[in-house]
Chains A and B, each alone.
Chain A
Amino acid sequence: SQKIEQNSEALNIQEGKTATLTCNYTNYSPAYLQWYRQDPGRGPVFLLLIRENEKEKRKERLKVTFDTTLKQSLFHITASQPADSATYLCALDRGTYKYIFGTGTRLKVLA
């Protein structure tokens, strides 16, 4: 079965630096992969979607890459700010919009 691995350890970085989060999956390559932000006690908020035929996707300070050979997606936040502190989840579509979520990586941006 498909498994998603995200670094469960918290990532602390200094304000202004680029944060890079990793999402690895173990089985088939999904048609697309999504990244979400989740704040404590809140539902996930959609950030970016990247399709299997896309190498890279950008949105403002966010960048996502998708390497189907490595079975890995990287999520970058450039010029990070304390307000970017949250848990970031990656999700794969099992089909018909049924998502498998990773456990998320908690990011803390230090002022």
Chain B
Amino acid sequence: GAVVSQHPSWVICKSGTSVKIECRSLDFQATTMFWYRQFPKQSLMLMATSNEGSKATYEQGVEKDKFLINHASLTLSTLTVTSAHPEDSSFYICSARGQGAGNTIYFGEGSWLTVV
């Protein structure tokens, strides 16, 4: 089946620095990718939707200047957490949708971010 890969699986960064998380669709072209954030024991919350070659659409309450999303190709989307703070520590998950995957949504394995 279709596979979505995230990298890194976990990352620790210092407060004030930026960190980039990659989301790749390995065997299909992802026309749309979604970024979610999940705090412990809470549900996945959609942060933004990105379509290849266009600007991401952010959900209400998500700062677009803080969470930079780039979907430069049909197989790669990146989320950059800028000027990270401890409250940004969370589990970030991407999902991807594309014709090659039968319009099914596939989720990545997630990336743990810890800001110290």
Residue of A nearest to B111 (CB): A43
Q: Which residue of A lies closest to B1 (CB)?
A: A46
- Asked if A42 contacts B97 (CB within 8 A), the reply is no
Residue of A with least CB distance to B106: A46
**Is the beta-carbon distance between A97 and B97 smaller than 8 angstroms?**
yes
- Nearest B residue (CB) for A102: B43
Which residues of B from 89 to 115 have beta carbons under 8 Å from A? 91, 93, 97, 104-110, 112
Q: How many A-B residue pairs have CB under 8 A?
A: 47
- Least CB separation from A8: chain B residue: B41
Q: Are A46 and B104 in contact (CB under 8 A)?
A: yes
User: Is B25 an interface residue when CB atoms closer than 8 A count as contact?
Assistant: no
Contacting pair A46 B49 (CB below 8 A): no
Q: Using CB atoms, name the residue of chain A closest to B96.
A: A97
Chain A interfacial residues counted at CB < 8 A = 18
Known: A98-B49, A99-B46, A101-B44. A44 touches B93 (CB 8 A): yes
Q: Which residue of B lies closest to A87 (CB)?
A: B41
Taking a contact as CB atoms under 8 Å apart, the answer to whether A97 and B34 are in contact is yes
What are 20 A-to-B residue pairs whose CB atoms are below 8 Å? A36-B107, A41-B112, A42-B109, A43-B93, A43-B108, A45-B107, A46-B104, A46-B106, A96-B32, A96-B49, A97-B32, A99-B46, A99-B105, A101-B36, A101-B44, A101-B45, A102-B43, A103-B41, A103-B42, A103-B43
Residues in B lying within 8 Å of A, measured CB to CB: 4, 6, 32, 34, 36, 41-46, 49, 91, 93, 97, 104-110, 112
Q: Which 10 A-B pairs have the closest CB atoms?
A: A43-B107, A101-B43, A43-B110, A101-B44, A103-B43, A43-B109, A44-B107, A43-B93, A43-B108, A97-B97
